[in-house]
Homo-oligomer: A and B are copies of this chain.
Amino acid sequence: MKGESSSVRSGARMSGEDRRLQILRVAVDLFSRKGFRGTTTKEIAEQASVSEAIIFRHFATKRDLYSAIIDYKAAESAELILKTLKNAARRKDDRAVFQGLATDILKIHDQDPTLFRLLLYSGLECHELSAMLFERYAKKVRAFLERYIRQRMADGTFRRIDPKIATHAFFSMISYHALAANLFRSLLPHGNCADVADAFASIFLKGISRL
């Protein structure tokens, strides 16, 4: 982005399409840090190295821009992690499934803190798209887990329990930790992500086992 910025300053232009995407990305970053009201179009313009008027050429209002980034993030988050988990699930390696999932979720949040922050900000702000983002955020993973738990119950390995509630329990454990790591890192119990993922997966698996 720094490179882009300097080339723009010397007079070179970006296509409309590229510029729109650039603004969107800058906006994701800023809105996720400061929320809707806390982010000014001025700072978005500055970060994108354009004048404010350019923002309004691509987005009719600030509100429209905010909705656009939520859409953008929702679309992005739908493509989550499932690849490696499908192998573990095929082998019915419970430990690999849950520990791998916990690790992946925590890793993703660490690498891209904007998603969760936008989820929280938009939820707190009662943005009309926040529910959609929340749902999209975890839909595939939850569905996958529910199916897996249902299957392992049929196999006799897991005890009788509502797969939705069990999924919710596991997902809650991991997600709250991710949230806390995002907002309050210094206050977390010491222990790296892998240890936390390990411990949480182990508690959960033992907690729903048949034995």
Interface residues of A (CB under 8 A from B): 34-38, 117, 120-121, 123-125, 130-131, 134-135, 161-162, 164-169, 171-177, 179-180, 183-184, 186-191, 195-196, 199-200, 202-209, 211
Contact check, B121 vs A124: say whether CB atoms are below 8 A apart: yes
Q: Are A184 and B36 in contact (CB under 8 A)?
A: no
Are B130 and A120 in touch, CB under 8 angstroms?
no
Tell me whether A211 and B208 are in contact in the complex, defined as CB-CB below 8 angstroms, given that A176-B179, A183-B124, A187-B131 are known contacts: no
Contacts of A172 in B (CB 8 A): 172-177, 180, 200
A125 engages B34 (CB within 8 Å):
yes
CB distance from A43 to the nearest CB of B (A): 13
Tell whether, in the assembled complex, residue A189 and residue B168 are in contact, meaning their CB atoms are under 8 Å apart.
yes
- What secondary structure prevails in chain A residues at the interface with B? helix
A125–B176 touching, CB < 8 Å: no
| Known contacts A123-B183, A183-B120, A183-B124; is-contact A199 B34 (Cβ 8 Å) | no
Q: Which of B131, B135, B179, B184 contacts A131 (CB 8 A)?
A: B184
Shortest 3 CB-CB contacts between residues of A and residues of B: A207-B207, A123-B183, A203-B207
What residue in chain B is nearest A40 (Cβ atoms)?
B37
Point out the residues of chain B lying under 8 angstroms from A167, CB to CB: 189
| Neighbouring B residues of A208 by C-beta, 8 Å | 203, 206
Query: A169 CA to B199 CA in the complex, in Å?
Result: 8
Check A125 against B38 for contact (C-beta < 8 Å): yes
A183 touches B134 (CB 8 A): yes
Q: Is the CB–CB distance between B120 and A199 below 8 Å?
A: no
**B residues in contact with A188, CB < 8 Å:** 168
Residues of B within 8 A of A117 (CB): 124
Smallest Cβ-Cβ distance to A177: which chain B residue: B172
Q: How long is the Cα–Cα vector from A117 to B35 in the complex, in angstroms?
A: 14
Q: Cα distance A203–B158 when bound, in Å?
A: 11
Distance between Cα atoms of A204 and B173 in the complex (Å): 11
